[in-house]
Every structure is written in structure tokens, then in C-alpha cells.
Amino acid sequence: MRLPISRRFSKPLAAALLLLSTSLAHADDLSAPLDEALAAAKARSAPVIVDFYAPWCYSCYFMAKNVKHGPQWEALKKKAVVVALDADSPVGAHWMKQFGAKGLPSYVVLDPSGAELGRISLERTRAQFYPEIAAITARGSVFEALKAKVVDGSPASLTAAREVLAAFAARRDPTSANDWLTFLAPEVRRAVDADPAAALWQSRLKLRAAYDAKDPAACAAAAPAVLGGELGCDRAYELDRALECTADLPAAERKTLFAAQAPAMKALLAKRVFVARPGCADARSIVLAAADLSKALGDESGEAALLDRAIADIEARLGGAKKLDLKRDRNLADNLRLYLDRAKRYAALDVLFPKLVAAYPDDYVYAYRHGKNLVERGEFARALPWLEQAAPKAYGVNRLNVAQFRAKALRELGREDDAKQVVADALKANGPFFPDEVLKLKAVLG
């Protein structure tokens, strides 16, 4: 959830993506991977699954280890053309924007003509992912055809209505959802409004609209209907959205609004997270949302106790605090890093980071995260070697991010000329892509 595809595809396409991920992509190249995938899809009369990931994405680690392998995955690849796009590369960022995909991982399913059939946003358990992706790939019709099935109050019509509203939610597009609802015939609209599952999706879309508008009062008005519904593992996402949106409201008002969520989150943690086989794919978001809730309710000791429990739980799953096997599960290893950071257990975090770098030496991620964390704590001399270790492995947008903190550390250490050179090199290497990050990098020099 918080920032927040198969890596197995045809050899020519894999080579093209690797080149685009590790070096500067030209504007003309941005469409090439998807064009190749659609051409293959037309030849096979198959759908395309565009799988967005990033090297820092903990949810992507979960999917890789727990979902995207085995007979079901192999069968899916036979039925569809799967193309993996790194969101940190220019080509991946381009298509993330084109599809309006805002979370990672995202799976956007297209028909051979390029029309969207549906999408899955964020991680799923194996039991959730394969039926969901199968239903989307089997549609054989575009989103407009699904909307056309909503014609009355019959079970089939209401099922289609729920799917339409869920699709709008996955697209984070409450405005279009409201437009669609407005144009339904009155008797159809009444049937959709009366259906509990469809009504809950409408409430969730209202909360999303209020959140997007940064309207605390509207978020507070929408939240009870959402949080009073049966949300399962999604409760953490909706609670997190409501907490963030209402952060500027008076503390007493927020306590009244969210008090009932404490037992609900406690039950979710007990039944789905702190168990031998967690029932939610994204345990991390549940832990963090529960910690944010405790903080909003003024329960600092409860927040600390929850983080301590989460840390101990992960350590046990990775072989014990004294014999951590960080390669056993990268998702869990990365969760441990984040929980230690959130709990401000910096001594333990400083011990963990070098182990993470050693466990996953082929990418820039943990050397960069360690350096960034040290810069944010004002320890610039300690940060610089880690950022320099990350720099040669960084590419695309993460090249700019590494350079930003590296230049900041150099300036703080009085090495102004070196900082300017780092910025110049990164800008030259990255070309015209990622303008927002370019501005942040330039701002380091003042």
C-alpha cells in the first residue's frame, strides 16, 4: 500500500526492458515494450498483463515470493502476455502515468487492441489473486461492456454494478464513478444503492473523493459509513486514508470519530497478522495503520507496544533475533527495517542495514535507504559512503534520489564542488525525465 508483473517474458522484450531500466531511454522508446506485448497478444489472441513493480516495493517482494510462481503462474503466462515494467525507469513511469496507476504493484489487463479489461492494485494473497485475475482476463470485453450489464435489480446486474464500482475504486477515479451512477435509470440506481456491497463501494469512493480534495470535513462525514462496513484486510487502507485526511481536525473530534476502530484493528491484527499463517497479504499496512490509530487516539504506549510486537513477530519468522535469515523473505526483512525506523530504534536499525545490503547486494536499495536515514538524522559523514555505494547501481528516478541525498551530505561536509559535480552528473545521465525529482535535486544546491 505505502509506497508504494512478472519478470519472466520473452527474451527480446526482456533485453529491451533491461536496457531501458539501466540506461537513458529516448522518448521514441517509451512505447516499444507495450507495442511488442500487444503485437504478441494479437498473434496469440490473448490479453496483456502489464505488471508494474519497483526495486524498493515491499509489496512486490511479497508477490514475487508468495504468488507469482508455481503451476498457477505458469498457466497464467500461457493464457496472457505478461510484461514487467519498472516504475523507476522512464518507460515504466511513462506507462504508470498513462494508465493512472498510482500504487505498486499494479496489474493492468488489456485486450489485444490495448483497451483495458480491468486491473488489480496492490498485493493479494495467492487465493485472492488468481481468481481475480482470471475473472478479468476471461471477460473478453472492455469496461464499457461491463457497465452495459447494469440494467436492473437482478443478481447478474448487481454483480456487474459491484465490479464496475470496484474497478473505479481500483482506478482511484471517484469522479467517473459518480458520473456513471448519475446516468443510471432511476430504478436501476435505487437497486444499486440498496445493495449493501455496492453501497459500501460507493461510500469508499466518497471517502476517496474527499481525500483527493483534501477536505477534512468531508472525510470525517464519509468515514463512518466506510469504516462501519465489512472491509476485511482493506480496513487498514481506508483507515489510513481517513486518518491522514482528518489530521488537521481537533484531537477530540478525531478521538470520537475513530474510537470504535481500536477494537476492530485489534481483532484484525489478532486474526490476520499475528498468527502462524497471516491472512492478509499486506500485514505491514495493517500494523502501520494500527500504530497511526493509536497515535491519533493519544495512546503512545499502545503504539510502542504494537511496534515492539511487530518487530518481535518478524524476528521470530526470520529465524530469531540472533540468527536473522534476511534472505528467507525480503518482504518481512523490509518490514523489519521499517518498524525499527518507526519505533526510532536506531541502534538496531544501524546493525540491520549493513546486513540487508549484504543480503541483497545487486541493487541500490538498502545502501541508499541507510544513507538517506543517516542524512535525515544529521549523520552526514556516516551517510556518504553508503550513498556512494548506492550511486553506481542507481538508474532512472532512483539515480536522482540517490544524488539528492549524496549532494546534501557533501554540502553539509563542506564539499560544495563535489556536490555540484554529483548533481551535474545525475542530471546529464537522466536527461529530460522525472521533472519533479530534477527540481528537488537542483534545490539541494540552493
Same domain, 291 and 236: yes
Residues 77 and 176 in one domain: no
Residues 129 and 107 in one domain: yes
What is the overall mean pLDDT for the chain?
91
Domain range holding 234?
216-298
In a domain, 22, yes or no: yes
Q: Is the pLDDT of residue 5 over 70?
A: no
Note whether 130 and 17 are same-domain residues: yes
The domain that contains 425 carries what CATH number? 1.25.40.10
Does a structural domain hold residue 356? Answer: no
pLDDT tens-place string over residues 195-238? 999 999 999 999 999 999 999 999 999 999 999 999 999 999 99
Residues 94 and 131 occupy one common structural domain: yes
Split at pLDDT 50, 70, 90, the class of 141 is low
In a domain, residue 340? The reply is no
SS3 assignment for the chain? CCCCCCCCCCHHHHHHHHHHHHCCCCHHHCCHHHHHHHHHHHHHCCCEEEEEECCCCHHHHHHHHHCCCHHHHHHHHHHCEEEEEECCCHHHHHHHHHHCCCCCCEEEEECCCCCEEEEEECCCCHHHHHHHHHHHHCCCCCHHHHHHCCCCCCHHHHHHHHHHHHHHHHCCCHHHHHHHHHCCCHHHHHHHHHCHHHHHHHHHHHHHHHHHCCCHHHHHHHHHHHHCCCCHHHHHHHHHHHHHHCCCCCHHHHHHHHCCHHHHHHHHHHHHHCCCCCCCCCHHHHHHHHHHHHHHCCCHHHHHHHHHHHHHHHHHHCCCHHHCCCCCCHHHHHHHHHHHHHCCCHHHHHHHHHHHHHHCCCCCHHHHHHHHHHHHCCCHHHHHHHHHHHHHHCCHHHHHHHHHHHHHHHHHCCCHHHHHHHHHHHHHHHCCCCHHHHHHHHHCCC
- Whether residue 211 is contained in a domain is answered as no
Q: What is the pTM of this model?
A: 0.84
346 lies in some domain: no
pLDDT for 27 beyond 70: no
Same domain, 172 and 246: no
**237 shares a domain with 154:** no
Q: Is the pLDDT of residue 10 over 80?
A: no
Q: What pLDDT band is residue 8 in, cutting at 50, 70 and 90?
A: very low
Which of residues 298, 322, 338 is at a domain's end?
298
Question: Would you say residue 7 has pLDDT above 50?
Answer: no
One domain, residues 134 and 19: yes
pLDDT tens-digit readout, 349-401: 999 999 999 999 999 999 999 999 999 999 999 999 999 999 999 999 999 99
Confirm whether 406 is domain-assigned. yes
How many structural domains does the chain have?
4
pLDDT tens digit sequence for 56-65: 999 999 999 9
What is the predicted pLDDT for the residue at 143?
75
Question: Within this chain, do residues 28 and 109 fall inside the same structural domain, yes or no?
Answer: yes
Same domain, 23 and 132: yes
Q: Is the residue at 222 inside a domain?
A: yes
Per-residue pLDDT, 178: 95
Q: Based on the fold, state whether residues 17 and 36 are members of the same structural domain.
A: yes
In a domain, 18, yes or no: yes
pLDDT at 23 over 60: no
- The pLDDT value recorded for residue 16 is 35
Residue range 297-311, pLDDT digits in tens: 999 999 999 999 999
Q: Pick from 248, 275, 298: which residue ends a domain? A: 298
Domain end call among 274, 298, 322: 298
Judge if 135 and 151 occupy the same domain: no
